[in-house]
């Protein structure tokens, strides 16, 4: 008798045995062998083993021949960060990073009295974006190079091999703090590989490479704290929808203009500034996707073609309406009051149209003062930076703007025309 046939015979009997509410006590006679006793006596300690064996035999008796079990989903092992991960990323970009020294000699009114002239030296960083010597950096790193009080000034660029060149400023954009300079190298320059800053997430590891305090080819390691930090810099310039990558890492004077890279060795941002004072390790970088659009416009047009819609927009917050209510008797629409009750005093729920340029795109589209813009191109907008970012440098193209008017909401299509900021966008 095979094991499977035995299991089919024993299984019903054992089931009846286990279903009874009383127990058996069996006293074998002297003539009973030990094997017979083991067969007839349901000893508790052997019961789990017997059940497992019968369950297997019972199931196997109904198994179809040549059948296969479904494949098990095997999870990949967790990715472990190699001790060389940061070093490997830095090695990929170091040959493309440069040190920029701004040397300025100013006229001295007392020079005829044999007093020395005033010489200023400042330091920054940059990186090659082409093989013909074009370097991307911050505008403030190369600023004041055309002051009329200067007698002699130049940019000195030192590349990773130690060679030194004099660079020329090709174009700057003060609003985004981006500049392009160029050196005439004897051979092709190693350009960086650009990443996709739109795909970044808070918490990702990043590395800043540059020349902090003139210490060339230095790197610092950290993480992305947040990916869309809206900063009110108070420069009086339109930021053009620029939101920064907030970094938790050491960024010091001289790091400005240097690349912020991922662990793949790809540039995902331009290190630009840090929080001064008691705060430690809070820095900011311009997303490389934004920088690419600025560079493209600077190289093709000599200025950044930012969209102009002819609207003055104000962020709608409970705190703002509370101040307005104190000075006037204005009462916001019911839907707006309801939304503001569900948010904190500083958070915006939309952008109110405060003023409209007559004959501008917004005026032609039929927008009115008091309308609240809540979305652009299906992207929710609560700040002017988000509004401009949603426009995404689009000019002469139709964009969908969703507004709330009274208790209703409707979509408006407007035609955007470029805003020429020739005072802050310059090709030298």
176 among known catalytic residues: no
Q: Structurally, what CATH architecture does the domain formed by 94-182 represent?
A: Beta Barrel (2.40)
Mean pLDDT over 411-416 rounds to 75
Q: List pLDDT tens digits, range 328-367.
A: 667 777 777 777 777 766 678 889 898 999 988 888 888 8
**Alpha-carbon torsion angle 215, 217, 218, 219, nearest 10:** 160
The torsion angle over the Cα atoms of residues 242, 426, 106 and 109, rounded to 10 degrees, is: -120
Least confident of 12-26, 301-315, 379-393: 12-26
- Classified as helix, coil or strand, 418 is strand
Residues in the chain: 428
Burial code (b: 16+ CB inside 10 Å, e: under 16) for 380-415 equals ebbbbbbbbbbbbbeeeeebebbbbeeeeeeebebe
323 tagged catalytic: no
Of 173, 177, 297, 371, catalytic: 177
The H or E element that residue 115 is part of is: none
Q: What is the CATH number of domain 306-425?
A: 2.30.42.10
Q: Does 94-182 match 202-297 in CATH topology?
A: yes
DSSP class per residue in 291-360: HHHHHHHHHHHSS-EEEE--EEEEEE-HHHHHHHHHHS-----HHHHHHHHTS-TT---EEEEEEE-TTS
Tokens 């100013």 map to which residue? 106
What is the β-pairing status of strands 150-158 and 267-274? unpaired
Q: Does domain 202-297 have CATH number 2.40.10.10?
A: yes
18 CB burial (10 A radius; 0-12, 13-18, 19+):
exposed
Query: Is 354 part of the annotated catalytic residue set?
Result: no
pLDDT of the residue at 38:
44
User: How confident is residue 306, by pLDDT bands cut at 50, 70 and 90?
Assistant: confident
> Contact at 8 Å (CB) between 151 and 108?
no
399 within 8 A of 391, measured Cβ to Cβ? yes
Instruction: Say which residue the tokens 């809070």 belong to.
Output: 282
> What distance in Å separates the CA atoms of residue 375 and residue 21, rounded to the nearest whole number?
71
- Of 58, 118, 140, 363, the active-site residue reads 140
pLDDT above 90 as % of the chain: 35
Catalytic residue among 211, 216, 238, 256: 256
Q: Where are the domains of the chain?
A: 3-61, 94-182, 202-297, 306-425
Please measure the distance between the N-terminal and C-terminal CA atoms of the chain and give it in whole angstroms: 98
78-93 per-position pLDDT tens digit: 667 788 999 999 999 9
Average pLDDT of the residues in 138-150: 74
Confidence label for 307 from pLDDT (cuts 50, 70 and 90): confident
Q: Does residue 220 have a pLDDT over 80? A: yes
CA-CA distances (angstroms) from residue 314 to 95, 100, 158, 162?
46, 40, 45, 51
| Calpha distance 418→397 (Å, rounded) | 10
């Amino acid at each position: 008798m095979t094991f499977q046939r035995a299991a089919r015979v024993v299984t019903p009997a054992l089931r009846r045995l286990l279903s009874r509410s009383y127990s058996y006590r069996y006293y074998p006679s002297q003539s009973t062998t030990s094997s017979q006793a083991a067969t007839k006596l349901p000893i508790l300690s052997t019961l789990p083993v017997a059940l497992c064996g019968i369950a297997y035999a019972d199931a196997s008796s109904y198994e179809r021949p040549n059948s296969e079990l479904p494949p098990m989903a095997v999870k990949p092992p967790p990715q472990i960060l190699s001790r060389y991960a940061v070093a490997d990323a830095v090695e990929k970009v170091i040959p493309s990073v440069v040190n920029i020294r701004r040397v300025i000699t100013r006229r001295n009114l007392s020079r005829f009295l044999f007093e020395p002239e005033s010489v200023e030296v400042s330091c920054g960083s940059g990186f090659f974006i082409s093989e013909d010597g074009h370097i991307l950096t911050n505008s403030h790193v190369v600023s004041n190079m055309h002051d009329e009080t200067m007698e002699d000034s130049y940019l000195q660029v030192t590349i990773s091999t130690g060679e030194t060149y004099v660079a020329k400023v090709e174009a700057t954009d003060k609003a985004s703090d981006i500049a392009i300079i160029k050196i005439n190298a004897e051979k092709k320059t190693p350009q960086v590989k650009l990443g996709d800053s739109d795909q970044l997430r808070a918490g990702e590891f990043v590395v800043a490479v540059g020349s902090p305090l003139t210490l060339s080819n230095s790197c610092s390691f950290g993480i992305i704290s947040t990916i869309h930090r809206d900063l009110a810099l108070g420069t009086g310039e339109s930021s053009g929808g620029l939101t920064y990558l907030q970094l938790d890492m050491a960024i010091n004077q001289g790091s400005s203009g240097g690349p912020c890279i991922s662990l793949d060795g790809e540039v995902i941002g331009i290190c630009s500034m840090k929080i001064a004072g008691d705060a430690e390790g809070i820095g900011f970088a311009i997303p490389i996707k934004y920088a690419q659009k600025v560079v493209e416009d600077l190289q093709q047009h000599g200025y950044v073609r930012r969209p102009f819609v002819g609207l003055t927009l104000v962020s709608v917050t409970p705190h703002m309406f509370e101040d307005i209510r104190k000075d006037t008797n204005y009462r916001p629409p019911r839907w707006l009051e309801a939304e503001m009750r569900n948010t904190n005093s500083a958070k915006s729920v939309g952008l109110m149209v405060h003023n409209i340029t007559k004959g501008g795109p917004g005026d032609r589209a039929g927008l009115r003062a008091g309308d609240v813009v809540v979305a652009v191109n299906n992207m929710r907008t609560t700040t002017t930076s988000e509004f401009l970012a949603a426009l995404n440098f689009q000019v002469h193209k139709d964009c969908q703007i969703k507004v709330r008017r009274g208790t209703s909401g409707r979509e408006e299509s407007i035609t955007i025309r470029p805003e020429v900021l020739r005072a802050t966008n310059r090709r030298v």
